[in-house]
Chains A and B, each alone.
Chain A
């Protein structure tokens, strides 16, 4: 008789065969479990594909975006030496001056601030200025012609051939501008463009003191290959002259970069949907393994090793995960075609959508990793199922202490989430903030759901009716899914509500500033000589003079005796042009936070200036530091006398640098005037009059700006909602899958109740009560998270107060609860409709 240890050799192929057999009759259900991650993967694949295609299109269309091989631009004037150099560059040259100015439509009498582009030369060399009629873009430079953006043409009901007044000159509208090179839909509606010939600019008399002009020089090269090298070599010289260089290459990078944030947001929203799905997968697999307990124990009795039992289920999860990943990737590849539609107003290039295989590959990999990782805690427990379970009627709990491998898996999950987040984020701080907030939300929801179960069990009054007691009891019975559902419903509610609230905060910040006594019209570029005239015109319209301040442009020459060249870490401080003012008293929006405010000084006294404290921080300056300002050629030494806190959300002119009265009165300056117009009609009349009498004065109608912002925000809001939709639907799928997961248990219960004489109505009522409380609690918990998160965001990021909008919040809450109840009750009905006998047989 043999009494040595038998050798057992299990072929890997048998494990596959067994996995296949074991999954029989469960495949549809497994697929449903895994379907919770399909949408998350789809969202990510769509975002990745979009990113890929966008980058490809940017690369392909960068020449058209730039319009030239080299673009040099400066907001400062052009020095003689620089002009000499500009005249020798390239094989073909164009020049453009861009500035804000008013346009006045003679026929309708409307006027509006626009982005004026005075152009000379054959720019763009690649792509085209698109206009209707087509030829207009080619010929407008031949005379006093203008190309006017289509949004303006629409707004003022203007036609080609109409006349517009720009500055002191009348122009003939030669064509409607449909697309300027590199302009996005949003850009065009916020700052509509008007092209005029550069040679007419002088006669418009628009260029006055303080006008902010962007000088652009476009160059075409017969051989553009050496340009980037040239730019690199000239870098310091260009910087000294205040010039920025743009090439096709740099434009590619820059455009790609500006979309990184958008892509980051899209990817993170997709990731949140995926995480929600993971919660669903994890818990569904848990229930699945629970149901398999007896079969696993039997196999173990028959001599299956624990490792092999584990592998059988790992194989199942692997293939189901693969299927989910393939489905997700396919769906995502489809959805990517929607993204350009959603984002069309923000895109500078035309998107040619095609399948991105790297994105599909990423999606597949992600789907697999995620489904296995989140199934692993349950899969690992398979190893610990004792064969004893086959002979014991009452199943033993898996033995006592936690498997150390489970901890490893949890660690892996944390690492995975952090690593993935880091791929989307710029910095580790952002990564940690994001992962931490998700973790905190998770933990809070877990605690809340435990609390719910505890409270229901403790506080459930015995006197309440049977239906209520049973409904409540369902929330904490063994194998309940209260925890899982609270987490998934709560998290998706929290996510969606936070997005909704943040959108609201942004909106209220904008609308707040347009309150009843706040100015709603700003006029700037007012020359010294126009000051009195404009004042009296305003008064003649019975409008209040609300805030009139001088503005002087200057640059920092030295900080504590150091010039820009010696202060390399602080270049920006010297580079940017500063708009400063002088005043003898503080305004209501300003508060001194350090030092002493000096309102007025006499000649030859030390000039104590006041800085906005955030700005002081930015340029690394403290109290009593010495700053030498270059005020258009004149050097003025100053000492930082005080720091101010400025409430920027107040609608008024605010300045980073404030001088005391008595220094800058004679410096070249322009003025800003604010007023409040009572109606759109008065606004139009007043603007018309201002443009006629003071053509160089720019008027901003804040109501129009607000309307545009509103439009912009609702467009952004649409993108946000589109992405949040993924989480919402995922949360819903998780709900359905978990309701169906607990179906077996519910079937037994409902049969038991029915045999004891409960009517179908009563059973439905019990379930409705259960889901109502579950939904209400989970959604409530999510709302609380969202409100506290939004409050924190409002306070610390947006510097605003946050009050959740009562009615929309309530509506949101109610619809989530309703959705939960309907889903729960509907799936219970399908159970009730089955004949009890059939159920008994499938139960064995």
Chain B
């Protein structure tokens, strides 16, 4: 199978107060298109940092990140934005819905950015899938946390991304709501055949992915069920 994400010798070093802080140290892995992966590890181990690099939100200090066959470090910020819009979906721990947009408009934004057609119908369909069709004209403040995260799921899938990144998608939700959101996430993923990368503390969630990468202190300490050689 073809790999959609290739991480080669990636390090991230922060300069803080004149000292160098190595947050990621020579990370290597490759992810097959369509697979589901969990990245776990203790707080401060560098999970979010890694996710940011994979999604092209940030640049590595050294090494290469190849997304969908395109080397990200050669691109400028605007080109990476185009990549994100075309191939990448995001789910955030704190939902990050745009507060001045209605649920429907939030779902529409990635499509609008892409200049797609029939946006509205498609977005409504997705909202229906997450069970919020009747709340489409509500603003984020009018929705509960779980509802907001469901809207953000709809948004993440709206542009039919090749790869979807989720950073602690259930971190701000109670157990019951978490369960619902996770089910929804995996259902949608199955339908769309998207590659899914989840950063999480939640072991239950991690257990549902095909592959699990553990990092600690900026290095990979275990990589179970690796689907590459």
Interface residues of A (CB under 8 A from B): 1-11, 14, 18, 21-26, 294-295, 297-307, 386-388, 390-393, 841-842, 844
Contact = CB atoms under 8 A, between A and B. Distances in A.
Nearest to A387: B57
Interface in B51-100: 51-52, 55, 57-58, 68-70, 75, 77-79, 81-88, 90, 92-94, 96-100
B105 interface: yes
A299 B140 CA distance: 15
27 contacts: A1-B2, A1-B69, A4-B70, A5-B75, A5-B82, A8-B82, A8-B114, A10-B113, A11-B115, A21-B101, A22-B100, A24-B100, A294-B96, A295-B100, A298-B96, A298-B97, A300-B81, A302-B85, A303-B81, A303-B110, A303-B113, A304-B113, A305-B81, A305-B82, A390-B57, A390-B96, A844-B140
Interface of B: 2, 4, 33, 48, 51-52, 55, 57-58, 68-70, 75, 77-79, 81-88, 90, 92-94, 96-101, 105, 109-110, 112-115, 140-141, 155, 162, 167
A23 B79 CA distance: 27
Closest 5 A-B residue pairs measured CB to CB? A303-B85, A3-B69, A6-B86, A298-B96, A24-B100
Contact of B87 (A6, A301, A304, A844): A6
A8 B113 contact: yes
B98 A842 contact: no
B85 A298 contact: no
Given A8-B81, A393-B94, 6 more contacts: A1-B68, A1-B69, A6-B83, A299-B98, A304-B81, A391-B93
Contacts of A8: 81-82, 85-86, 113-115
Contacts of B114: 8, 303
A311 to B, nearest CB: 13
Contacts of A9: 115
A6 B86 CA distance: 7
A844 B141 contact: yes
Contact of B90 (A7, A295, A390, A392): A390
B83 to A, nearest CB: 7
A841 B141 contact: yes
A841 B93 CA distance: 18
Contacts of A294: 96
A302 B69 contact: no
Contacts of B82: 5-8, 303, 305
Nearest to B105: A21
Contacts of A24: 100-101
B2 A295 contact: no
Contacts of B167: 391
Contact of B100 (A21, A300, A387, A841): A21
Contacts of A303: 81-86, 88, 110, 113-114
B100 A25 contact: yes
Contact of A390 (B68, B70, B92, B100): B92
A388 B114 CA distance: 21
A14 B112 contact: yes
A7 B98 CA distance: 25
B144 to A, nearest CB: 10
Looking at B69, B77, B79, B167, the one whose CB has the most chain A CB atoms below 10 A away is B77
Contacts of B93: 391
A297 B69 CA distance: 25
Contacts of A5: 70, 75, 79, 82-83
A303 B48 CA distance: 19
Contact of A306 (B52, B57, B77): B77
Contact of A307 (B4, B57, B78, B100): B78
B83 A302 contact: no
A1 B82 CA distance: 17
A387 B85 CA distance: 12
Looking at A10, A21, A298, the one whose CB has the most chain B CB atoms below 10 A away is A298
Given A5-B79, A304-B81, A298 B98 contact: yes
Contact of A302 (B52, B78, B100, B113): B113
Contacts of B92: 298, 390-391
A3 B113 contact: no
Nearest to B114: A8
A216 B228 CA distance: 110
